[in-house]
Structure 1
Amino acid sequence: MRNDLAARRQGRGWSQGRLADELGVSRQTVISLEKGRFDPSLPLAFRIAALFDCRIEDVFTPDGI
């Protein structure tokens, strides 16, 4: 799954650590999400979308679409 999490984070001037704190996850989780090595749970995807005031599908795009 592709995502634009890094661009959204950088747009706010946040470090990966700051985003991790905002989401209540580890910095390693943020790194894995941004690199596409980890797909978020549904509750985490909702928290990410709420944090950036958008829809889940605005942040995450399934492969092949």
Structure 2
Amino acid sequence: MIIKTTCWEFEPESNRKLVFYFHFLGWYTFQIGIHFDFQMLNVEIHLPFCFMRFGLKASIKNCVYKENKDD
């Protein structure tokens, strides 16, 4: 059995950029809050109907977390 998890991969250091994302979630969501992610080096500010993200550009990849050879 192989258990997979999501991993983040940063851009090479020469291409690292600070990015800003604005996500409109719709008129049906209402959220307020802020969180800091020290692993991914970003900040998200949650506002009614949307959230904003500031941080380093990264991409998602699938990583193999554990492989059990007994199965």
Q: Shorter-normalised TM-score: what interval? A: under 0.3
Normalized per residue, the structure richer in strand is 2
TM superposition score normalised by structure 1: 0.25
With structure 2 as the length reference, what TM-score do the two structures score? 0.24
Judging by fraction of residues, say which structure has more helix. Answer: 1
Larger radius of gyration: 2
